[in-house]
Amino acid sequence: MKKQVRTILALTLGVLLALSALAGCTTGGAVPAGDGAEAPLKFTMTYSDNPTLPFREDWLVNTESEARYNLDITWEVIPSTDYTTKINAELATGTGYDVITYLGPSSGDQAALALSGAMAPISDYVDMGWAPNFSRRIEEWNMQAELDERRLSDGKYYFLPALFDKQFYDGGLILRDDLLEKFGMEAPTTFDELYEYLKACKEDNPESFPLTNLVGPQVTYRMSMPSFGMSVGRNASTGTWVLSWNYENKEYFPGAIDDSYKQYLEYFAKLYAEGLYDPEFLPEGDMWNIKMATGAAVASYAYYDQIGGIVAASEVEGISFNMVPPLEGPGGAYHQPKARLSAGLVFTAAAQKRDDFEQLVRAIDNMFYSDEAAELWSLGKEGVTFTRNADGSVEFIPEALESVDGIYKYLQVNYGTGSASSQFIWINEQEMLKYDENYAAINAVVAEMDGVPLSPPTPILSEENAEQASLLQAALRDAFEIWNNDFITGAKSLETDWDAYVQEMKDKGIDELCQIYNDSRR
Amino acid sequence: MVDKSMGSRIFNIFLYLFMAVIIVIFVFPFFYMFSLSTSGMKAIMNNRVTFFPVDFNIDAYLRIFEYPGFFQAYRNTIIYTTLGTFFSLIMMMLFAYPLSKSFLKGRGVILKLVIFSMFFSGGLIPNYLLIRNIGFANKIWAILIPFAINQFNLIIMVNFMRSIPEDIEEAAMIDGLGYFRILGWIVVPLSKPAIATIGLYTAVFFWNDWFNAMLYLNTEQRPVMMILRNIVVNAANAGEAQGYGERGIAEMASKSAVILVSVIPIIVLYPFLQRFFVKGLTVGSIKG
**Number of other residues whose CB lies within 10 A of the CB of residue B135:** 10
Per-residue pLDDT of A284-337, as tens digits, reads 778 888 999 999 999 999 988 888 888 888 899 999 999 999 999 999 999 999
Domain range A41-167+340-426, CATH class: alpha beta
- Residue A349 binned pLDDT confidence (cut-offs 50, 70, 90): very high
pLDDT at A360: 97
A93:B129 CB<8 A: yes
- For residues A297 and A208, the answer to whether their CB atoms sit within 8 Å is yes
Mean predicted confidence (pLDDT) in A59-87: 94
- For residues A52 and B247, the answer to whether their CB atoms sit within 8 Å is yes
Identical fold at A41-167+340-426 and A171-337+456-519?
yes
A55 touches chain B (CB under 8 A): yes
Give the containing element (helix H, strand E) for A346: strand A341-347
pLDDT at A32: 43
A319 touches chain B (CB under 8 A): no
| pLDDT exceeds 50 at position B50 | yes
- Residue A282 binned pLDDT confidence (cut-offs 50, 70, 90): confident
Q: For residues A26 and A137, what is the distance between their CA atoms, to the nearest angstrom?
A: 41
Which H, E and C letters describe A192-208, residue by residue?
A: HHHHHHHHHHHHHCCCC
Comparing A446-450, B30-34, B154-158, B241-245, the range with the smallest average pLDDT is B241-245
ipTM greater than 0.95: no
Nearest to B245 among A56, A313, A409 (CB): A409
| pLDDT exceeds 80 at position B276 | no
If you ran DSSP here, which 8-state letter would residue A454 be given? B
Which amino acid belongs to residue A257?
Answer: I
| pLDDT exceeds 50 at position A283 | yes
State chain B's mean pLDDT as an integer.
87
**How far is A496 from chain B, CA to nearest CA, in Å?**
35
| pLDDT exceeds 70 at position A497 | yes
Comparing A423-427, A437-441, A455-459, B282-286, the range with the smallest average pLDDT is B282-286
pLDDT at A10: 53
**How far is B125 from chain A, CA to nearest CA, in Å?**
6
A309 touches chain B (CB under 8 A): yes
Q: For residues A295 and A196, what is the distance between their CA atoms, to the nearest angstrom?
A: 18
B140:A23 CB<8 A: yes
| pLDDT exceeds 80 at position A198 | yes
| pLDDT exceeds 60 at position A250 | yes
| pLDDT exceeds 70 at position A199 | yes
Q: For residues A415 and A348, what is the distance between their CA atoms, to the nearest angstrom?
A: 28
Mean predicted confidence (pLDDT) in A414-439: 92
| Chain A residues within an 8 Å CB radius of B219 | 75-78
Closest-CA residue of B relative to A83 is B214
**What does CATH list as the number for B68-237?**
1.10.3720.10
The full set of domain ranges for chain B reads 6-60, 68-237
Q: For residues B158 and B114, what is the distance between their CA atoms, to the nearest angstrom?
A: 12
- Residue A380 binned pLDDT confidence (cut-offs 50, 70, 90): very high
Q: Among B76, B93, B228, B242, which Cα is nearest to B153's?
A: B93
| pLDDT exceeds 90 at position A378 | yes
| Chain A residues within an 8 Å CB radius of B141 | 23
- Residue A18 binned pLDDT confidence (cut-offs 50, 70, 90): very low
Q: How many CB pairs under 8 A join A and B?
A: 145
| Chain B residues within an 8 Å CB radius of A86 | 214-215
- Residue B288 binned pLDDT confidence (cut-offs 50, 70, 90): very low
**How far is B12 from chain A, CA to nearest CA, in Å?**
44
A436 or A187: whose pLDDT is higher? Answer: A187
B150 or B273: whose pLDDT is higher? Answer: B150
| Chain B residues within an 8 Å CB radius of A292 | none
Per-residue pLDDT of B2-26, as tens digits, reads 567 888 999 999 999 999 999 999 9
**What does CATH list as the number for A171-337+456-519?**
3.40.190.10
The full set of domain ranges for chain A reads 41-167+340-426, 171-337+456-519
Which H, E and C letters describe A403-448, residue by residue?
A: CCCCHHHHHHHHHCCCCCCCCCEECHHHHHCCCCHHHHHHHHHHHH
Per-residue pLDDT of A476-496, as tens digits, reads 999 999 999 999 999 999 999
State chain A's mean pLDDT as an integer.
90
